[in-house]
Amino acid sequence: VNIKGDGSKCNVLVMDNVFWVNEVGVTADKVFQNDTQPAAQAVMLNCNMNSGTHGATKNGFDYLEKHGKVDDDFIRKMLRPLREARIWLPQPAPEGATSVQIHRVICSSGKDAVGVEFRAGK
């Protein structure tokens, strides 16, 4: 994450993200950079990183330090749209129409493997 330009009206919250790293020595300073002038109100917190690269993380996983400084009011302000969001409830499909709904699908597969396969019928 590299923020550049005029930061006078810029607010950034990077929170609870997982970063995939492919090299040794990755730190919060490398993952999150606030290069705005004047400085944007920005913070990265509660993030971690995964890696398959030997020595990049502890056992394939590691935490990233908090980067940036903001107060609790800033975090509440940035999370307000999430708190105000309302879940859409699916409705039955109209007569004669087909309804395909996929809810929260997370897919992971190895090389040359099929991760998710959808088929019609039984």
**Per-residue pLDDT reduced to its tens digit, 50-78:** 999 999 998 899 999 999 999 999 999 99
pLDDT band for position 87 (50/70/90)? confident
Report percent pLDDT > 90 for the chain: 68
Say how many residues make up the chain.
122
Ramachandran angles phi, psi of 63, nearest 5° = -90, 150
The contacts of residue 78 (CB under 8 Å, 6+ apart) are 11, 13
pLDDT given at position 100: 79
Report percent pLDDT > 70 for the chain: 84
pLDDT given at position 92: 86
Is residue 71 exposed (0-12), middle (13-18) or buried (19+ Cβ within 10 Å)?
Answer: exposed
